[in-house]
Chain A
């Protein structure tokens, strides 16, 4: 069953067709990768799916609902989480607090009950704290919990961002270059982690440049080039697709 389907999606920036008539589906429970050379429109595609950008035309359907044109917070509430290519930490907040923001949608405390520190918010607050701590431990950065997120090392920030997205308990997780800037050991670790996330029942859609990672973990791959989809297949077939080889290696 398709958890996400993209149909004839277009996005133009002036005369540039950043995403041009792209259609594909993501089946629940799989890891699907979007690859392509720089400027292929991968991040634009992510922004269109997550609501950060409005499509010029086309349909994005998530869990049976048309979501194109909805605000990101509404799409998040439907169960979609994402990370960013250039990490977006909440400056001025600790790693733990960053992850706790990820639990926002699970909480109910409002302005008044929060101001009064009302007893019925305590249980929720404890649960959020426990859950967030568990996620940090899962990503092996528990000891950084009380450090300001922006002062952590790059790889750790990446982990905090992932923990934050997982705290939303999403059904679909969009990962924008999760291995960018990591060495081969860390990349392998991220690969294992993404597989683990899939095994937790979370569908994963990722953009990635690291081909060995993509080939290792993906169930299916979509290839974009200059905003257009040029291939969609199993990893082994993509590796032997002459068109893909042409755009990656040249003639």
Chain B
């Protein structure tokens, strides 16, 4: 119960924001709050990887892009020319394809958003496994460089592949009907519903990760961070846990990519860019590395400000500056300054007698 109760004030704040914007006629803010929530889903996944398992990734925009681009391409690129291919016929007979007309009345055959989303997230997970097995053997800045390399590859791939729209990206991505009455779409008529949907997804993700951190697995991850050698001697299979966490955070990033792409109705190459990955790392660092709440809060705040254009053309420069300042003056996150330096290692309320929850 305690864990659910901890979420309640946040839930109240989410509702309050919606009511405030409605009363003051500023509902347009909800659009950026929705997008910020999806970005924050990626951030909390990265927080677990960096702060708890102690592995840095400068390639998470790549996983976001894999999720976003695959679902965008599959739900917009027509399969009509391949109609007779065995695979397409098989997919069609499984009900995974959707026939329709495009803007000019031509026949259109695309993958349904659900099938595309599941496929996109699965691919992201598989790529995370394939990349993770060799790369997670590296430590510190070697790992950072290797993941950076991965991010650059994904960026150049989407930029060079016609199927992914090259420099234009992909637009005209259809709404995603999750289940009856709930649709991921940027239409202003469903803005409030999408705001609650995004926050519902984010808070669910947060609860899952908080549960994880307070469990046997979470302790093992933090132990790896604390002393790899001792964790190994306690029977913790370090390579496997690092890999599983890497895949978990990649899946969070891919889900964020899928949902945000449907919400925006498109995706462009900048979403795969290295600067995006740096930004995510900067936000996790500001939040305090091993601090899920801080990471989520900073993820929402900074993404919201950035999306509102507060930083203007200096957007990327601001995040670079944030990274430098945080590393110099508050390596344990901005909240540690408020709480005083003593509490620097305080994490999600470590262990409490919570078995009855």
A residues near B (Cβ < 8 Å) are 50, 52, 71-73, 76-77, 81-82, 84, 88-94, 96-98, 100-105, 107, 109-111, 114-117, 121-126, 128-129, 146, 148, 150, 164, 168
Closest A-chain residue to B224, C-beta based? Answer: A90
Q: Which of B93-101, B210-218, B305-313 contacts A (4 or more CB under 8 A)?
A: B210-218
* The 10 residue pairs across chains A and B that have the minimum distance between CB atoms: A90-B226, A114-B215, A76-B235, A105-B235, A88-B230, A92-B345, A126-B355, A72-B232, A117-B211, A115-B208
A84 to B357, CA, bound (A): 36
Known: A97-B219, A117-B211, A129-B351. A111 touches B238 (CB 8 A): no
User: Is B233 a contact partner of A117 (Cβ separation < 8 A)?
Assistant: no
User: Is B216 a contact partner of A73 (Cβ separation < 8 A)?
Assistant: no
Central interface residue in B216, B225, B345, by most chain A CB within 10 Å:
B216
A77 to B233, CA, bound (A): 9
A94: min CB distance to chain B, Å: 5
User: Is A101 a contact partner of B220 (Cβ separation < 8 A)?
Assistant: yes
User: Is A97 a contact partner of B211 (Cβ separation < 8 A)?
Assistant: no
Which residues does chain B contribute within 8 Å of A109, judged by CB atoms?
215-217
A67 to B137, CA, bound (A): 23
Which residues does chain B contribute within 8 Å of A103, judged by CB atoms?
216
A49: min CB distance to chain B, Å: 11
Does B42 touch A at the CB level, under 8 Å?
Answer: no
B residues near A (Cβ < 8 Å) are 3, 208-209, 211-212, 215-220, 222-223, 225-227, 229-238, 244, 248, 290, 345, 347, 350-351, 353-357
Which residues does chain B contribute within 8 Å of A102, judged by CB atoms?
234
A125 to B354, CA, bound (A): 9
User: Is B234 a contact partner of A93 (Cβ separation < 8 A)?
Assistant: no
User: Is A117 a contact partner of B215 (Cβ separation < 8 A)?
Assistant: yes
A171: min CB distance to chain B, Å: 13
User: Is A76 a contact partner of B345 (Cβ separation < 8 A)?
Assistant: no
Which residues does chain A contribute within 8 Å of B217, judged by CB atoms?
109-111, 114
Known: A93-B222, A125-B216. A84 touches B353 (CB 8 A): no
Taking A81-B233, A110-B217 as given, write out 16 further A-B residue pairs in contact, using a Cβ cutoff of 8 Å, ordered by the A residue number. A52-B233, A76-B232, A77-B235, A82-B233, A88-B229, A91-B345, A94-B350, A96-B351, A104-B220, A111-B248, A115-B209, A116-B211, A117-B211, A125-B354, A146-B350, A168-B235
Which residues does chain A contribute within 8 Å of B347, judged by CB atoms?
92
Closest A-chain residue to B209, C-beta based? Answer: A115
Which residues does chain A contribute within 8 Å of B3, judged by CB atoms?
117
A104 to B221, CA, bound (A): 11
